[in-house]
Amino acid sequence: MARYAYDRLTALDNSFLLLEKPNSYMHVAATQVFKTGPLCMEGGGVDADRIRKLVSALLHRIPRYRQKLAWIPFENHPVWVDDENFNLDYHLRHTALPRPGNDEQLKRLSARIMQQHLDRDRPLWEMWVVEGLEDDRFAIISKTHHCMIDGISGVDIMRVLMSPEPDEIIPDEPPWVPRPAPSPFELWRHEWVRRAWLPLEVMRGAVSLVRQAEDVRFDLMTRLRAIQETLGGSLRLPSETPLNREIGPHRRFDWLTMELGELKQMRKALGGSLNDLVLTVVTGAVRSFLRGRHVNPDRLDFRVMAPVSVRADDQRGELGNRVSAWIVPLPIDEPDPRAQLARIVEKTTRLKVSNSAVGAEVLTQAAEYTPSTLLALGARNIARLLPFNLVVTNVPGPQAPMYMLGAEMTEVFPHVPLTDRLGLGVALMSSNGKLCWGFSADYDLVPDLREFVTAIESSFRALQQLVHLRPAVGANGHDASASRPG
């Protein structure tokens, strides 16, 4: 038995490290808002020490949070090893807004925390406990590198650190002893052994595919068609827009909440899925926003990338990425919201029938057999050849009240990282009857982010009018324009 332990990153996980640049970080983040409740201290502060003790007691259920990156010599491929110098105080931080802090100040603080890169010499995550928020509230701003988690595994972490009951008990902390890390020579030797076995692994994969497929020919043709559609969409670049320029290092962050029940009523009345309705709302907002920028949307090929989870039920609770993607053209040339929805439903239905997400998944699996040097070369150029204009990710969160040591979470606003030439990103998470929107934008490229949020509200109301629903949208604040970072 080996005296050491490590985990090799998949090609997909590694890609998020390769895509990171000085102006584009690759961590996913969220701002969670809580009622202070039993965590309120005398004088109005938040008992951050109890939160620290809770996180420390639960870290054994998230072992990746105590691991850092190491690198295979010559191959330069990353692996996870235990951090023998792990210090929770570096990752769990405590700060405050000037009382009484409002939502606009919290948005600015969230943007500044999110735009800071994570230290690659330490485990790639941070949590900031923020007190001083008005109305007896506090916030937790969390950021975790995308090479560690995707949206679904991020929700799984939330379920580990929180409880569906207002339980104030902190469990006993089990002892933790870091496992020895392999030497550079041992990593290099194992990598060459792995490469020697690759042909056999490819054969095993082919045999497994044949055994699992009820109709081998049909299954293979489905995968080939999915790959063809994925590559075909990638070879044609979308239209240039004011949102697709070189980005800088600073960010803006804004948010919005909607009642999830109203979207469900709209789905029953109008058809399509909840995600189809979300994309329709985004379509109307993009159309209005571009017209406000004096851009004619009628002749633009505007596409969104919508991540699709391929995580199996038996993979729930595991970290790492299990995602594929859809490339969906938005009908921003169409002014009628009902017609917009019909065109989106037609496209997403076709993507489901063709198993388009399988194509991206197969290509991702093929990357496992590609040397890291070639992957790095591809990552350097991919940002300039992106086949989409905008990322819209929608993650289902817990649909029941969630508590941290008795403090109830009221909202959670997700944050999607930006890459080169993507000046705006939209992330959604449903939680306990609410649909929480998070909007991340380049500071200089999208100074009018609040206008886009307003356009989302207007687009949603336009859909409401089709089914005569009572408007009920809350923006949680006024002007979201943040002061320029110092």
pLDDT digits (tens, 9 = 90+) for 318-342: 555 555 678 899 999 999 999 999 9
Residue type, 286: V
131 or 315: which carries more pLDDT confidence? 131
The architecture (CATH level 2) of 7-161 comes to 2-Layer Sandwich (3.30)
pLDDT-derived band of residue 355, with 50, 70 and 90 as boundaries? low
423 residue type, one letter: G
What distance in Å separates the CA atoms of residue 164 and residue 401, rounded to the nearest whole number?
Answer: 6
Sheet with 67-71, edge to edge strand ranges? 7-8, 78-82, 67-71
Cα–Cα distance measured from residue 181 to residue 6, given in angstroms and rounded to the nearest whole number: 7
pLDDT of 188:
84
Instruction: Please indicate whether the domains covering 7-161 and 216-474 agree at the CATH topology level.
Output: yes
Omega before 100 cis (within 30°)?
yes
Residue 117: predicted pLDDT: 97
Residue-level pLDDT at 313: 53
What integer pLDDT is reported at residue 203 of this predicted model?
A: 57
130, β-bridge pairs: 95, 139
- Residue 284, pLDDT above cutoff 70: yes
Q: pLDDT, tens digit, for every residue of 401-447? A: 999 999 999 999 999 999 889 999 999 999 999 999 999 999 999 99
Local structure of 22: helix, strand or coil: coil
Structure tokens given for 149: 């988690």
Question: What residues form DSSP beta bridges with 427?
Answer: 393, 438
Cα distance between residue 422 and residue 415, in whole Å: 14
Rg (CA), the chain: 23
Residue in the structure block whose two tokens are 């943007």:
111
Q: Position 356: which residue type? A: S
Cβ-defined contacts of 174-180 (< 8 Å, 24+): 174/60, 176/59, 176/60, 176/66, 178/66, 178/82, 178/83, 178/84, 178/86, 179/4, 179/5, 179/81, 179/82, 180/3, 180/4, 180/5, 180/82
Give alpha helix (H) positions in 213-353: 216-235, 260-270, 274-292, 337-353
Whether 214 shows a pLDDT value over 90: the answer reads no
Given this model, what pLDDT does residue 486 score? 32
What pLDDT is stored for residue 194 in this prediction? 72
> Which residues, 6+ apart, have CB-to-CB distance to 315 below 8 Å?
322
User: Could you state, in order of their start, the residue ranges of all structural domains in the chain?
Assistant: 7-161, 216-474
262 pLDDT higher than 70: yes
Q: 181 or 369: which carries more pLDDT confidence?
A: 181
Q: Residue 367 — pLDDT band, cuts 50, 70, 90? A: very low
- pTM of the predicted model, to two decimals? 0.85
Read off the pLDDT of each residue in 71-83 and give the average, rounded to a whole number: 91
> What average pLDDT does the chain have?
83
Whole-angstrom distance, CA of residue 438 vs CA of residue 254: 6
Q: What is the pLDDT of residue 2?
A: 58
Q: Which fold, 216-474?
A: Chloramphenicol Acetyltransferase (3.30.559)
Structure tokens at 414: 């997700």
- Mean local confidence (pLDDT), 111-140: 97
Helices of type H across 162-215: 184-212
Residue 386's pLDDT band, with cuts at 50, 70 and 90, is confident
**Contact between residue 61 and residue 153 where contact means Cβ atoms under 8 Å apart:** no
pLDDT of residue 236: 72
Give the pLDDT score at 149.
83
Structure token pair of residue 275: 């995600």
Q: How many helices (H) and strands (E) in the chain?
A: 13, 16
DSSP characters over 461-473? HHHHHHHTPPP-E
Q: Is the pLDDT assigned to residue 376 strictly greater than 60? A: no
Q: For tokens 């100074």, what's the residue?
A: 447
Work out the average pLDDT over 160-177.
Answer: 94
Q: Give residue 44's pLDDT.
A: 82
CB 141 within 8 A of CB 29: yes
Above 80 in pLDDT, residue 479? no
Torsion angle defined by CA atoms of residues 228, 230, 236 and 240, in that order, rounded to the nearest 10 degrees: 170
Mean pLDDT value across residues 93-105: 95
Is residue 141 predicted with pLDDT exceeding 90?
Answer: yes
**How far is residue 253's CA from residue 30's CA, in Å, rounded to a whole number?**
11
Binned at pLDDT 50, 70 and 90, residue 190 comes out as confident
**Is the per-residue pLDDT at 368 higher than 80?**
no
Taking the C-alpha atoms of residue 153 and residue 159, their distance in angstroms, rounded to an integer, is 10
Q: How far apart are CA 34 and CA 52, in angstroms?
A: 16
